[in-house]
C-alpha cells in the first residue's frame, strides 16, 4: 500500500559527536529528497531518532520519544517513524516487537540506504531495515546538512577493535577501519574553502588510525595531523577520542609543537584501579596512565586534559574507588564525563558477578563529581587575568550582546563583543566556574 511522500522531517540525535556527525548526514539525505526540517515532532510528517546505545539511560530516553511518536501517529496514521544509529543496530528485533510505531530501522553503517528504505516502506506498507556490520561508505560520501559556523567534524576512522569488556561499540559500529589520508585532507580543504576555521577529527580510537593491515603503516595519525596543519585557512585542529595505549611519541611531539593542533586532549581512563582496568580489558595499568600524563604535561605546557570515568563496575570495591579518586587527584583533570556502569547486552562485563549496589554507586559518583568539579574550578581560577585567544562560535545564550567561543584548550568563554563567528579574539579571563569563563575583549 503506497502513500504520499513526506514533505517535512523532525530529527532528534542522542549521544556522542560521532552520532551528531551522523545526524548531519541523515539531514542531508532527507533534504536531498526535498524534505524541509521542522523543529517539533508534531509538525513533521517524518520523525527520525538517531540513537546511542552506550548506556541504559539512552534506551529509556528513546522509549519516551517513541511513546510521543506513537501518540502523534495515532492522530495521523500517515506519519512515518525512523530509528537510526546504534540502538537500531543492536536491538532491531526488540524495537520492532516493542514499538510497532517504528517504520524504518537503519544502523550507523547503513545510513546510505536510508532513502531506499523509506521508499520501500512507503510502497509496501511493511517495516524496512538495513544493518551492515562494517563500514563500506564513509560519511563524507553522503549529502550533509551542516550547521552554519566555523566548526566542522571530519570522520577519519570507523568502528573499534579494542573490545573493552563493558563497551558495545565494536558490536554496533563494526571492526576498525581507517579512511585514506588523501580523502580526509581533501575534505578538510573543501571545508576550509567554505569558511570552516576549526576541524575535529572523529573516530572511536583516532590514535590507531592507519594501523589496519591494508594500510601497512603507510599512513599514521601523526602524519595525518601534520598534513592537516598545512591546509590554508584552518586555524585549529582537534580530535576525539584517544585511547591511552595508542598515544605515540610522534603525537606527543606534535601536541607540544607550535601549530594548529590545540592543547587539549580527551584521554579516557575509566578507572584508577589496576584490578578494574584489567577486568575492563583496557590494555594499560594505573602507573602506565600516570606516566603517560607526566610525559604529556612535560611536552605540552598548559595542556587541558579531560577524561571519562566509570564507577560501580562489577566487583569494584571501596579500595578500587579510592584508587580512582587518587588518580584523579594526581592527574589534575580539567574536566571529566562521569558515569555509573551500565550493563550492555553482548558485552563480557554484562556477565560478570559482583554488581555494585545502586545506592553505593550513586554515592561514589557524587563524590567523584564533587572532586572533578573542584579540580576544574581551581584550574580555571588559576587562569584568571590571563589574555587568551578565543575562536568565536556563536551568539551567547546567556546575555544579549555577548558571544561564546572557546580557548585553544576547549574551554568556553562568554564575553561582550560584536565579533562574528570564526573571528579570533584576544580575551581577558575575568570569572570562572568549573567548566567555563566570562571575559572581556583585551584592549
Write the pLDDT tens digit of every residue in 88-102. Answer: 998 888 898 989 999
Q: Nearest-CA neighbor of 192 among 135, 230, 140?
A: 230
Range ranked top by mean pLDDT from 50-54, 216-220, 357-361: 357-361
Average pLDDT over residues 40-67: 88
Angle between helices 318-331 and 358-381 (to 10 degrees): 10
The C-alpha atoms of residue 113 and residue 297 are separated, in whole angstroms, by: 45
Residue 216 pLDDT:
65
The owner of cell 562485563 is 349
Is the distance from CB of 233 to CB of 191 less than 8 angstroms? Answer: no
This prediction has a pTM of 0.93
Confidence of residue 243 (pLDDT cuts 50, 70, 90): very high
Residue 217 pLDDT:
67
Residue 234 in this model has a pLDDT that exceeds 60: yes
Q: Nearest-CA neighbor of 132 among 186, 183, 173, 99?
A: 173
HSE at residue 388, side-chain half, CA atoms within 13 A, is 27
Angle between helices 318-331 and 286-299 (to 10 degrees): 10
The C-alpha atoms of residue 350 and residue 345 are separated, in whole angstroms, by: 6
- The three cell numbers of residue 319 are 579500595
Dihedral, 203, 205, 206, 211 alpha carbons, nearest 10: -120
Q: What is the CA radius of gyration of the chain?
A: 22
Is the distance from CB of 324 to CB of 368 less than 8 angstroms? Answer: yes
pLDDT per position as a tens digit, 19-37: 899 999 999 999 999 999 9
Residue 335 neighbours by CB under 8 Å, 6+ apart:
304, 306, 307, 372, 376, 434, 435
Amino acid at each position: 500500500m503506497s502513500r504520499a511522500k513526506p514533505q517535512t522531517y523532525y530529527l532528534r540525535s542522542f549521544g556522542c559527536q560521532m552520532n551528531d556527525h551522523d545526524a548531519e548526514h541523515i539531514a542531508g539525505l532527507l533534504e536531498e529528497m526535498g524534505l524541509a526540517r521542522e523543529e517539533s515532532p508534531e509538525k513533521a510528517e517524518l520523525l527520525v531518532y538517531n540513537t546511542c546505545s552506550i548506556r541504559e539511560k539512552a534506551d529509556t530516553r528513546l522509549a519516551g520519544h517513541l511513546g510521543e511518536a506513537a501518540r502523534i501517529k495515532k492522530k495521523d496514521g500517515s506519519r512515518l517513524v525512523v530509528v537510526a544509529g546504534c540502538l537500531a543496530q543492536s536491538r532491531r528485533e526488540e524495537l520492532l516487537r516493542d514499538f510497532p510505531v517504528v517504520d524504518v530501522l537503519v544502523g550507523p553503517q547503513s545510513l546510505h540506504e536510508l532513502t531506499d528504505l523509506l521508499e520501500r516502506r512507503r510502497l509496501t506498507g511493511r517495516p524496512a531495515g538495513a544493518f551492515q556490520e562494517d563500514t563500506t561508505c564513509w560519511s563524507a560520501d553522503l549529502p550533509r546538512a551542516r550547521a552554519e559556523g566555523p566548526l566542522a567534524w571530519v570522520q577519519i576512522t570507523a568502528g573499534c577493535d579494542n573490545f573493552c569488556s563493558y563497551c558495545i561499540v565494536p558490536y554496533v559500529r563494526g571492526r576498525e577501519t581507517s579512511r585514506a589520508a588523501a580523502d580526509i585532507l581533501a575534505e578538510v580543504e573543501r571545508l576550509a574553502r567554505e569558511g570552516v576555521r576549526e576541524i575535529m577529527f572523529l573516530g572511536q580510537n583516532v590514535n590507531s588510525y592507519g594501523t589496519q593491515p591494508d594500510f601497512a603503516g603507510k599512513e599514521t595519525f601523526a602524519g595525518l595531523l601534520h598534513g592537516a596543519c598545512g591546509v590554508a585557512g584552518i586555524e585549529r585542529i582537534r580530535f576525539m577520542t584517544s585511547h591511552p595505549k595508542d598515544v605515540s611519541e610522534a603525537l606527543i611531539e606534535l601536541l607540544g609543537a607550535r601549530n594548529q593542533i590545540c592543547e587539549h586532549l580527551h584521554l579516557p581512563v575509566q578507572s584508577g584501579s589496576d584490578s578494574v582496568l584489567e577486568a575492563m580489558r583496557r590494555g594499560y595499568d594505573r602507573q602506565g596512565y600516570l606516566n603517560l600524563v607526566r610525559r604529556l604535561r612535560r611536552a605540552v605546557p598548559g595542556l587541558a586534559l579531560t577524561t571519562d570515568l566509570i564507577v560501580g563496575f562489577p566487583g569494584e570495591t571501596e579500595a578500587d574507588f579510592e584508587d580512582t579518586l587518587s588518580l584523579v587527584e594526581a592527574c589534575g583533570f580539567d574536566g571529566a564525563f562521569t558515569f555509573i556502569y551500565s550493563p550492555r547486552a553482548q558485552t563480557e562485563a554484562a556477565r560478570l558477578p559482583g554488581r555494585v549496589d545502586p545506592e553505593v554507586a550513586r554515592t561514589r559518583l557524587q563524590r567523584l563529581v564533587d572532586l572533578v568539579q573542584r579540580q576544574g574550578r581551581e584550574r580555571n581560577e588559576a587562569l584568571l587575568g590571563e589574555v587568551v585567544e578565543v575562536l568565536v562560535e556563536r551568539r551567547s545564550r546567556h546575555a544579549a550582546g555577548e558571544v561564546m567561543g572557546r580557548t585553544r584548550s576547549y574551554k568556553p568563554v562568554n564575553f561582550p563583543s560584536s565579533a562574528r563567528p570564526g573571528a579570533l579574539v584576544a580575551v581577558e579571563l575575568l570569572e570562572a566556574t568549573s567548566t567555563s569563563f566570562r571575559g572581556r575583549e583585551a584592549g
